[in-house]
A = this chain, B = another copy of it.
Amino acid sequence: MFVYKHKVHYYETDRMGVTHHSNYIRIMEEARVAYLDAIGASFARIEADGYVSPVMAVEGKFLSPTTFDDLIEVEVYIQEMSLLKLRIGYRMHCGGKVVFEGWSLHCFLDKDGKALRIAERYPQFRQAVESDQEQA
Protein backbone atom coordinates (compact mmCIF):
# COMPACT_ATOMS: atom_id res chain seq x y z
CA MET A 1 0.00 0.00 0.00
CA PHE A 2 1.34 3.41 -0.95
CA VAL A 3 1.82 5.72 2.04
CA TYR A 4 2.29 9.50 1.93
CA LYS A 5 3.39 11.45 4.99
CA HIS A 6 2.22 14.92 5.95
CA LYS A 7 3.33 16.83 9.05
CA VAL A 8 0.59 19.25 10.13
CA HIS A 9 1.61 22.89 9.71
CA TYR A 10 0.72 25.58 12.21
CA TYR A 11 -1.26 27.46 9.57
CA GLU A 12 -3.39 24.35 9.03
CA THR A 13 -4.84 24.51 12.55
CA ASP A 14 -7.87 26.57 13.61
CA ARG A 15 -8.96 28.11 16.88
CA MET A 16 -10.61 24.87 17.98
CA GLY A 17 -6.93 23.83 18.35
CA VAL A 18 -7.10 21.19 15.62
CA THR A 19 -6.33 20.74 11.93
CA HIS A 20 -9.09 22.56 10.03
CA HIS A 21 -11.28 20.02 8.20
CA SER A 22 -10.79 21.69 4.79
CA ASN A 23 -7.08 20.91 4.96
CA TYR A 24 -7.71 17.15 4.79
CA ILE A 25 -9.08 17.73 1.29
CA ARG A 26 -5.76 19.41 0.44
CA ILE A 27 -3.76 16.61 2.07
CA MET A 28 -5.76 14.17 -0.11
CA GLU A 29 -4.49 16.11 -3.13
CA GLU A 30 -0.90 16.01 -1.90
CA ALA A 31 -1.17 12.27 -1.33
CA ARG A 32 -2.82 11.70 -4.72
CA VAL A 33 -0.06 13.63 -6.49
CA ALA A 34 2.60 11.52 -4.75
CA TYR A 35 0.69 8.32 -5.56
CA LEU A 36 0.39 9.20 -9.25
CA ASP A 37 4.14 9.92 -9.29
CA ALA A 38 4.77 6.51 -7.75
CA ILE A 39 2.71 4.57 -10.30
CA GLY A 40 4.27 6.41 -13.24
CA ALA A 41 1.30 8.58 -14.24
CA SER A 42 2.35 11.83 -12.61
CA PHE A 43 0.01 14.77 -12.65
CA ALA A 44 2.74 16.97 -14.14
CA ARG A 45 3.01 14.48 -17.03
CA ILE A 46 -0.77 14.27 -17.51
CA GLU A 47 -0.85 18.09 -17.78
CA ALA A 48 2.16 18.04 -20.11
CA ASP A 49 0.27 15.52 -22.30
CA GLY A 50 -2.36 18.26 -22.71
CA TYR A 51 -5.05 16.95 -20.35
CA VAL A 52 -6.72 18.40 -17.32
CA SER A 53 -8.01 16.28 -14.51
CA PRO A 54 -10.77 17.98 -12.60
CA VAL A 55 -11.95 16.66 -9.26
CA MET A 56 -15.61 15.68 -9.77
CA ALA A 57 -16.51 14.89 -6.16
CA VAL A 58 -14.96 14.33 -2.73
CA GLU A 59 -16.14 12.85 0.53
CA GLY A 60 -14.37 12.90 3.86
CA LYS A 61 -15.09 11.55 7.34
CA PHE A 62 -13.24 13.26 10.16
CA LEU A 63 -12.83 10.47 12.70
CA SER A 64 -10.37 11.87 15.22
CA PRO A 65 -8.71 15.30 15.47
CA THR A 66 -5.06 16.00 14.70
CA THR A 67 -3.06 19.14 15.38
CA PHE A 68 0.17 21.06 14.75
CA ASP A 69 3.29 18.90 14.40
CA ASP A 70 1.34 15.63 14.15
CA LEU A 71 2.59 13.25 11.50
CA ILE A 72 -0.28 11.95 9.37
CA GLU A 73 0.29 8.82 7.30
CA VAL A 74 -1.99 8.61 4.30
CA GLU A 75 -2.73 5.32 2.58
CA VAL A 76 -3.75 5.93 -1.03
CA TYR A 77 -5.34 3.37 -3.33
CA ILE A 78 -7.62 3.10 -6.34
CA GLN A 79 -11.11 2.30 -5.04
CA GLU A 80 -12.78 1.95 -8.38
CA MET A 81 -12.02 2.52 -12.04
CA SER A 82 -14.59 2.64 -14.82
CA LEU A 83 -14.13 3.56 -18.47
CA LEU A 84 -14.04 7.31 -17.82
CA LYS A 85 -13.83 7.72 -14.05
CA LEU A 86 -11.34 7.00 -11.32
CA ARG A 87 -12.19 6.88 -7.63
CA ILE A 88 -9.20 7.19 -5.31
CA GLY A 89 -9.44 6.26 -1.63
CA TYR A 90 -7.54 7.68 1.33
CA ARG A 91 -7.14 6.42 4.87
CA MET A 92 -5.18 8.65 7.22
CA HIS A 93 -3.51 7.41 10.40
CA CYS A 94 -1.94 9.35 13.24
CA GLY A 95 -0.71 8.14 16.61
CA GLY A 96 -2.14 4.66 16.10
CA LYS A 97 -5.62 5.88 15.18
CA VAL A 98 -7.50 6.19 11.92
CA VAL A 99 -8.17 9.94 11.83
CA PHE A 100 -9.74 10.36 8.39
CA GLU A 101 -11.27 8.35 5.57
CA GLY A 102 -12.24 9.76 2.23
CA TRP A 103 -12.32 9.42 -1.52
CA SER A 104 -12.12 11.63 -4.58
CA LEU A 105 -13.59 11.07 -8.03
CA HIS A 106 -11.73 12.12 -11.17
CA CYS A 107 -11.94 12.17 -14.91
CA PHE A 108 -9.41 13.25 -17.52
CA LEU A 109 -10.37 15.74 -20.21
CA ASP A 110 -8.60 16.65 -23.41
CA LYS A 111 -8.35 20.19 -24.81
CA ASP A 112 -11.89 19.90 -26.24
CA GLY A 113 -13.34 18.86 -22.90
CA LYS A 114 -13.80 15.27 -24.11
CA ALA A 115 -13.32 12.57 -21.45
CA LEU A 116 -10.38 10.15 -21.92
CA ARG A 117 -10.72 6.39 -21.67
CA ILE A 118 -8.43 6.21 -18.71
CA ALA A 119 -7.00 2.68 -18.86
CA GLU A 120 -6.41 2.90 -22.62
CA ARG A 121 -4.45 6.11 -22.36
CA TYR A 122 -2.70 5.39 -19.07
CA PRO A 123 -2.35 1.62 -18.52
CA GLN A 124 -0.47 2.45 -15.32
CA PHE A 125 -3.83 2.80 -13.58
CA ARG A 126 -4.89 -0.73 -14.56
CA GLN A 127 -1.55 -2.06 -13.31
CA ALA A 128 -1.94 -0.17 -10.04
CA VAL A 129 -5.40 -1.67 -9.50
CA GLU A 130 -4.08 -5.18 -10.19
CA SER A 131 -1.09 -4.70 -7.96
CA ASP A 132 -3.35 -3.48 -5.12
CA GLN A 133 -5.59 -6.51 -5.55
CA GLU A 134 -2.66 -8.92 -5.41
CA GLN A 135 -1.48 -7.41 -2.16
CA ALA A 136 -4.96 -7.55 -0.62
Q: Which residues of A contact B (CB under 8 A)?
A: 9-11, 13-18, 20-23, 25-26, 29-30, 33, 42-44, 52, 54-62, 65, 67-69
Contact = CB atoms under 8 A, between A and B. Distances in A.
Each complex incorporates copies of this chain amounting to 4
A3 to B, nearest CB: 16
A12 B114 CA distance: 26
A9 B18 CA distance: 15
17 contacts: A10-B29, A10-B43, A11-B20, A11-B22, A13-B15, A15-B67, A21-B58, A22-B22, A22-B23, A22-B26, A22-B29, A33-B69, A43-B69, A44-B69, A57-B59, A57-B60, A58-B58
A9 B42 CA distance: 13
Contacts of A69: 33, 42-44
A57 B62 contact: yes
Contacts of A21: 25, 54-55, 58
Contact of A56 (B10, B13, B52, B61): B61
A33 B17 CA distance: 17
Contacts of A42: 69
Nearest to A33: B10
